Amino acid sequence: MNGQVFIIGMGLIGGSLALCIKEEHPEAKVAGFDVEEHQLNLALRLGIIDELAATLEEGAREADLIIIAAPVASSAKILKRLAEIPMKKNVIVTDTGSTKGFITDEASCLTEKGIDFVGGHPMAGSHKSGVAAAKKILFENAFYLLTPAKGTKQQAITQLKSWLEGTKARFLEVSGEEHDYLTGVISHFPHIIAASLVHQAKKAERGNELVSRLAAGGFRDITRIASSSPKMWRDILLHNSGILLSLLEDWQAEMAKVSKLLREEDGEEIYEYFKTAKDFRDGLPVNDKGAIPSFYDLFVDVPDYPGVISEITGYLAEERISITNIRILETREEIYGVLVISFQTPEDRKRAIDCIEKKTDYGTSIGE
């Protein structure tokens, strides 16, 4: 497709979308804008964008597609500014925010002028941030939810999908309200629970210093999403508060049910409670990307001797296998420890298993 694409926000998502568009539509020109000049200049130096825009007005006037890849609160302000700029008649405006009901309402300033707004949420991410972490494969096989504003022409939705074809994502069209409920259940609410578990552990540590030492293993794993950006989650909670308050009420009822089982010492029902949860969880798709970025962990049994970690990472480097994180669960003299290596894709993890098994006799396992 020929045309001019203008991306506002040169972070991980904005940069990755730019790469996907440039790959699929090499004849298109991609311009970028960001309030952080170093991110914008870096995007230009890395070839992620073709040119930079000094102002919103400069980038928006000639754009055929405008992508707002900024936090939800900032996106609302950007929409209002765009509404004051003379733009092309058939321009399409979209965003990438995690909440959609609020932003769709805010986009009325554009739709009232006949400008097509299609809310968007690529349900993919990374454990890294910034435009330097941008990659073309970020959205591959991920769900990409589209929430068209009322009155948006079907042609605009089709055209947006064509622009984003290079993401290789799976597009779903839902209402803004349905989007916020779905992401509330499977993403926003779990982040609240993870944060609350960490708070509980922090309070418990005041009475026993062993809490933080023992939390270094599995507890740290099941609460890892609590390390997400506080600023981002503040905005998400404020813009999806109605649904989250309802989910919190449901959670309190669920915890009351567990309390009742414990008071009654009902072993059979407690067993059934965990079995039902296990059956449902085990039936969830393993390889599909969801709302929360997956961690593809590999557990490697390694002996305790100097240089063992560099040995393993050296083998992976030889095969050009990228890792996102590495840590040791336990290692004591003359006892095998566990090296936990995290990868961004299941393919990378599978290649790592093959590599390690070929080069060493160390045992490997994965956690699902």
Burial degree of 153 (CB within 10 A; 0-12, 13-18, 19+)? middle
Q: Six-digit token pair at 334?
A: 């003359």
Residues, the chain: 368
pLDDT attached to residue 126: 66
pLDDT attached to residue 74: 92
pLDDT tens for the chain, 368 residues long, are 789 999 999 999 999 999 999 999 999 999 999 999 999 999 999 999 999 999 999 999 999 999 999 988 899 999 999 999 999 989 999 999 999 999 999 999 999 999 999 999 998 876 667 898 888 988 988 899 999 988 899 999 999 999 999 999 999 999 999 999 999 999 999 999 999 999 999 988 887 878 877 776 678 878 888 888 888 889 899 999 999 999 999 999 999 999 999 999 999 999 999 999 999 988 887 666 665 666 678 888 887 778 888 889 999 999 999 887 787 765 444 445 678 888 877 788 889 999 998 988 888 887 65
Residue whose C-alpha is closest to residue 7's, from 49, 37, 54: 49
Residue whose C-alpha is closest to residue 252's, from 179, 181, 196: 196
Q: What angle do CA 245, 246, 250 make, to 5 degrees?
A: 115
CATH of region 4-174? 3.40.50.720
What is the C-alpha to C-alpha distance for residues 89 and 153, in angstroms, rounded to an integer? Answer: 13
pLDDT attached to residue 330: 56
Burial degree of 183 (CB within 10 A; 0-12, 13-18, 19+)? buried
For 212-215, the CB contacts below 8 A with 24+ separation are: none
Residue the block writes with tokens 């296990």:
278
CATH of region 296-366? 3.30.2130.10
pLDDT attached to residue 44: 95
What is the C-alpha to C-alpha distance for residues 127 and 365, in angstroms, rounded to an integer? Answer: 22
Which distant-in-sequence residues (6+ apart) come within 8 Å of 365 by Cβ?
Answer: 298, 299
Which distant-in-sequence residues (6+ apart) come within 8 Å of 137 by Cβ?
Answer: 168, 345
pLDDT attached to residue 119: 96
Write down the domain spans for the chain. Answer: 4-174, 179-282, 296-366
Residue whose C-alpha is closest to residue 148's, from 110, 175, 123, 181: 175
**pTM > 0.85: yes or no:** no
pLDDT attached to residue 332: 44
Cα dihedral: 317, 320, 321, 325 (round 10): 50
Q: What angle do CA 149, 80, 165 make, to 5 degrees?
A: 45
What is the C-alpha to C-alpha distance for residues 6 and 9, in angstroms, rounded to an integer? Answer: 10
pLDDT attached to residue 301: 84
* CATH assignment of 179-282, among 1.10.3660.10, 3.30.300.280, 1.10.3720.10, 3.30.300.10: 1.10.3660.10
Report yes or no: 331 and 301 within 8 Å, Cβ to Cβ. Answer: no
pLDDT attached to residue 24: 95
